[in-house]
Amino acid sequence: MQNPFLTALLTLTLHSAGMAQQPAPASSAAEQAALAPQDILKKWVGTWDATIESTGRDGKTITSPAKATVRLAYGDRWLITDFDGKFMGAPFTGQEVLGYDPVAKKYIANWIDSAATSFSSGEGTFDPKTNTLILVMNGRDDSTGKMATWRQVDVWKDADHHEWSIRVKGNDDQEKIQMTIRYSRHR
């Protein structure tokens, strides 16, 4: 009789051994296209200074400073982001777990924060030609109690700067940027 625990452990060990040999970071779009998903996740690792831009109820842009600390964990398969700043004038903290699902061949994410009463989750792809991660996220809108869907778009400008945004469809079915966070690697 096979022991499922030992089978799972052996599979995990063999998979981990194959993951240990990782190529050096690539710089061109062609080289990035050949990178393993775990190597792409390494782009985010580090400490980041951030600026949050959102639109207030009065239609004016609100800008707030923030920080993010990003690390790989659990065999370098999961990227964990700890976010700390202010949103709409109030303290705001959040955490994201981002990884790659090799079966679905998609990046997957879960997000929790100090303003929401439930978590958000989603999946998407990384386009090496545009250096962009796009996730379709789902979560409960606490103001209505209904489930909502939005896109998170993270565009890399260079190795030390990326721009993340939340995009939602309005009543006119047109997508609008609800919030933008501009990240600069902390020096």
What are the domain boundaries of the chain? Answer: 29-185
CA distances from 13 to 7, 69, 94, 138 (A): 10, 28, 32, 33
Q: Is the pLDDT of residue 13 over 80?
A: no
pLDDT recorded at residue 184: 98
What integer is the mean pLDDT of 41-62? Answer: 91
pTM listed for this prediction? 0.79
What integer is the mean pLDDT of 108-114? Answer: 97
**35-67 b/e (C-beta count within 10 Å ≥ 16 → b):** beebbbbbbbbeebebebebeeeeeeebebebe
DSSP letter for each residue of 49-89: EEEEEEE-TTS-EEEEEEEEEEEEETTTTEEEEEEEEEETT
Q: Which of these CATH numbers, 3.90.650.10, 3.30.230.70, 2.40.290.10, 2.40.128.20, describes 29-185?
A: 2.40.128.20
pLDDT recorded at residue 57: 76
Mean pLDDT of the chain: 84
